[in-house]
Structure 1
Amino acid sequence: MQTVTLAPHEIREAVSMREAIDAVRGGFVDLAAGQFEMPTRTAMRDGHFLVMNAHHRATASAIVKTLSVNFDRVPAISGTVVWTETGRADTLVADAATVTTLRTGAAVGVATDLLAPADAGRLTLIGAGGQAPDQVRAVHTVRPLRELTVVDSDPRRAEALAATLAPELTGTRIRTATDPGAAVADAEIVCCATPATSPLFPARALPAEVHVNAIGAFRPTMRELPDELLASATVVIDERAAILAEAGEILHALESGALTEDDLTELGTALTAPEAPRAGRTVFKTVGVAMQDWTVARLLADKFLP
């Protein structure tokens, strides 16, 4: 029996964004089919400490993720993902920050591939923190980008991210901005990855047809999207119980009457029973669920464990 511990660079070298997207897509399908035992995560100190776990019934495998979150430090996320299964005596331990950013990006890739117009290629990314690079990589994987606008209140941080991503986005026009409302005006896809506690832009700032991903708000006190957008859009979520416990913008919209629970469709359901092509505005709201960590950990286990 051994424990294999993986550093961030080993995870990055082992799992491509395309592999992660395909794995997470399968995970959402299995979640909709009832293949996961997955309690709502435990949040302590108002989300500064999180514990998440998931068991995949078909493979008798499970993960437990423990992490701390502090937006005043770099990296903001630290912790571990531990993989175990009944068929192997060995255990795998992976860096939680890397797994989290990779699987969150992959979920956005799955949703964008399902909901964004096939020819969409203009992305506005709001927030240039630790989650941001994988948001861009995921969208670029499913919708090759013609234009990218990186928005952050700190111009230097936006410029640094743009410079980091430029070698991966050959042929893509990249610019930076500080005003989210102006930056989303001509976007075809928007990714919100901030710790905001109030909406980042008014609904009227968006085009009539746009797909919006919102990953930043993971506590009831946080909120990136306005009620008016949610009321006028097709809203797809990662998992109902998690959203109703933690997603600030969804909870606010339900309380205000802008949404009802019947307006929310889980991504796994949308993938297994796709509707006609969607027009107008679409939103994918995710707080992140342990199934996503399981999908990436399974890829790592298959590559690193005997």
Structure 2
Amino acid sequence: MAAPANQFVYIDAAALHAVLPFPSLISHLRTGLPAFSAGIHCPHRVSFPLPTAPSASLLLMPSVSAHPSLPYLALKAVTSFPANSPRLPSIHAAVSLFDSASGLPLASLDGSALTLIRTAAVSALAASLLASPTRPPSTLALAGAGALAPYLAEAHLSVFPSISRILIWNRTKAKSTALAAKLREAHPALAVEEVDNMDEAVLAADIVSCATGSQEPIVRGELLRPGAHLDLVGSFTPAMKECDDEALRRGRVFIDFEAALQEAGELVGALQRGVLQREDVIGTLTELAAGRVVGRRSDDEITVFKSVGTAAVDLLAAQLAYETYIDTTKKA
């Protein structure tokens, strides 16, 4: 689809939620990743320290499509200010979208909202491809109650209407209480429970989704139920990890992109220790979506999906948001 000719637009968080409902974005990624990811070039992320604050930094993540049916390039700029007060998030982001044929600026999008939405959509897409098709999941466990957690819940609910129970564990009780209240208000028929330890949640869950900054395993693989699906979102450095080696030994392991093998602490450590071999990582999300690798092979098999994020998904999400926004504006 050619980039629509239109004036430059700003798509804020509220508009992004309107134009990127999870069913639409998940479907778009399922078809778009196999069709376009080979032609999307994502140079290495660049980080700049900022002289205004010793602990602050600016990160730039570009992506450009060489495919004529995806005529866009995008740049996500992320600021990290760890010293911000608790009332102000430490991470902020903006995504700029350009026409790749002319360089014409097309849109600026709220990068924080876009990242939350697309990250949850990637997890739910992987779960939809890896969870048992004959034994629909009924219980979802969430580790972590931060900004991403409600998005993960909503994304999984959108692909699994069979989910009737959500278990929430978080180190800070007040955050899990607030998330539980939010989910109960949005889904009155859903059983939402807080748990005091993650072991309890893992033992009960069909899908376990982790979005924490933990540097110690919080999911013990020996407790995963036969047929469970483990979704690991939080770690993005070799020092971070959300599951132990046993989870990887027991599971059939998939990743979002190859970068996970260098960035995710669970995988980096397991590969270094010989717990995993490279061939034990079955494939990427793109290969799964394209049917080039086999996902789940039985109802009792355990599957593991590790994501670290990529600018290619930012580009596809920004494309869908922009084109939907322009189409909606024209019809208004």
- TM-score scaled by length of structure 1: 0.92
Structure 2 residues without counterparts, runs of 5 or longer: 1-5, 50-54
Instruction: Report the AA paired with residue 235 of structure 1.
Output: V
C-alpha contact 2:56 2:81 (8 A) present in aligned 1: no
Who is 1:260 aligned against?
A: 277
Instruction: Report the AA paired with residue 315 of structure 2.
Output: W
**1:156-209 deviation digits (Å, cap 9, x = unpaired):** 111111111223324221101231112111100000000001111321122122
> Could you tell me how far apart the structure 2 residues matched to 1:69 and 1:18 are?
31
Residue 168 to residue 48, structure 1, CA distance change in 2 (3 Å)? farther
Instruction: Report the AA paired with residue 63 of structure 1.
Output: A
> Could you tell me how far apart the structure 2 residues matched to 1:103 and 1:48 are?
23
Residue 44 to residue 136, structure 1, CA distance change in 2 (3 Å)? farther
Q: Are residues 1:210 and 2:228 paired?
A: yes
Residue 20 (structure 2) aligned to one of 8, 15, 40: 15
Q: Are residues 1:293 and 2:314 paired?
A: yes
Who is 1:121 aligned against?
A: 138
Q: Give how far 1:99 is off.
A: 0.4
Higher mean C-alpha deviation, range 122-131 or range 275-284: 275-284
Who is 2:303 aligned against?
A: 282
Residue 249 (structure 1) aligned to one of 266, 278, 281: 266
SS of equivalent to 1:184: helix
Q: Give how far 1:75 is off.
A: 3.1
Who is 2:175 aligned against?
A: 157
C-alpha contact 2:214 2:234 (8 A) present in aligned 1: yes
C-alpha contact 1:154 1:178 (8 A) present in aligned 2: no
SS of equivalent to 1:209: coil
C-alpha contact 2:8 2:106 (8 A) present in aligned 1: yes
Higher mean C-alpha deviation, range 253-262 or range 66-75: 66-75
Q: Give how far 1:210 is off.
A: 0.5
Instruction: Report the AA paired with residue 280 of structure 2.
Output: D
Structure 1 residues without counterparts, runs of 5 or longer: none
> Could you tell me how far apart the structure 1 residues matched to 2:196 and 2:243 are?
17
C-alpha contact 1:25 1:107 (8 A) present in aligned 2: no
C-alpha contact 1:238 1:287 (8 A) present in aligned 2: yes
Who is 2:79 aligned against?
A: 68
CA root-mean-square deviation:
2.2
Residue 225 to residue 49, structure 1, CA distance change in 2 (3 Å)? farther
Who is 1:98 aligned against?
A: 113
1:22-33 → structure 2 map (5 Å cutoff)? 22-30=27-35
Percent of residue pairs identical: 27
Residue 25 to residue 49, structure 1, CA distance change in 2 (3 Å)? farther
SS of equivalent to 2:113: helix
C-alpha contact 1:75 1:130 (8 A) present in aligned 2: no
Residue 147 (structure 1) aligned to one of 165, 179, 204: 165
The alignment covers a number of residue pairs equal to 304
Structure with max Cα Rg: 2
> Could you tell me how far apart the structure 2 residues matched to 1:221 and 1:26 are?
33
Q: Give how far 1:69 is off.
A: 4.1
Residue 44 to residue 203, structure 1, CA distance change in 2 (3 Å)? farther
SS of equivalent to 1:53: strand
- TM-score scaled by length of structure 2: 0.85
